Amino acid sequence: MRMDWPELKAKVASCVDCPLHAKRNKTVFGVGDENANWLFVGEGPGADEDAQGEPFVGQAGKLLDNMLAAIKLKRGHNVYIANVVKCRAPGNRNPQPEEALACEPYLHRQIELIKPRLIIALGKVAAVNLLAREASIASLRGRLHQYRGIPLVVTYHPAYLLRSLGDKAKAWADLCFAVDTMKDLQTGAPAPTLYENV
Ligand code: URA
Ligand code: SF4
């Protein structure tokens, strides 16, 4: 896929490549700085996102904005936010592997165009799809992975954190790890831990 931004946006807006198109209200392409160093990837639109056409605008989105603020980032400023699937799955079920696979070329092209320095996978669906292997969040967090050569760290999904306040400290540790990793990437210091090849 070699589309530029306008072509890519138009293609997603009219996409019917998987069954999720049938019940969506709006496609949720992604939002932010198209040259961002930071890319946050979630699972897929919920009800609020489906209504508004923008990622992470509901309760989980508020928490994501707070997480960004905690590491001195702001939506749209050096940050891009996208999802594995661009259309809402009915009842907020997880996207099926076939649906994620059908939608993957769009996220992949977004990543090619943005060229982020670091990807943060929010939750298991994002992590498993980006890393193309099954694994638990517990086993993936705290280490540096990569998506097609781009460093990637894994943390909990904000919607999960809203239900499991006890894991907020771990998410904070993950964000600190991400900040340290970004610093290392910018100063050319050796990566703090081994890259996991996918
Ligand atoms: N959850 C996600 O994974 N993505 C959104 O855009 C909103 C909620
Ligand atoms: Fe197309 Fe992705 Fe929406 Fe499926 S989820 S219809 S592949 S844009």
Confidence of residue 188 (pLDDT cuts 50, 70, 90): confident
Domains contained in the chain, CATH given = 5-187 (3.40.470.10)
Q: How confident is the model at residue 106 (pLDDT cuts 50, 70, 90)?
A: very high
**Which residue's entry shows tokens 């894994």?**
154
Percent share of the chain, pLDDT over 90 = 94
Residue 196 — pLDDT band, cuts 50, 70, 90? very low
Cβ-based burial of 28 (10 A; exposed 0-12, middle 13-18, buried ≥19):
buried
| pLDDT for residue 192 | 57
Check whether 190 has a pLDDT greater than 90: no
| Residue 124 in tokens | 């298991």
Q: Looking at residue 197, what is its pLDDT?
A: 38
100: CA distance to ligand 2 center in Å?
A: 8
d(CA 62, CA 36): 20
Q: Whose CA is nearest to atom 6 of ligand 1?
A: 55
Q: Which long-range contacts (CB under 8 A, 24 or more apart) does 133-141 make?
A: 133/198, 141/170, 141/174
pLDDT digits (tens, 9 = 90+) for 67-103: 999 999 999 999 999 999 999 999 999 999 999 999 9
Q: What is the mean pLDDT of residues 37-53?
A: 98
CA angle 60, 125, 46 (to 5 degrees): 40
Which residues lie with the beta carbon below 6 Å from any ligand 2 atom?
A: 12, 15-18, 20-21, 27, 85-87, 99, 102-103
Site to substitute for ligand 1 among 49, 86, 103, most atoms within 8 A of C-beta: 49
Rounded to an integer, the average pLDDT of 103-129 is 98
Average pLDDT, the chain: 95
> Which residue is closest in CA terms to ligand 2's atom 7?
103
Average pLDDT, integer, range 135-162: 98
Q: Among 132-136, 143-147, 161-165, 190-194, which is the least confidently predicted range? A: 190-194
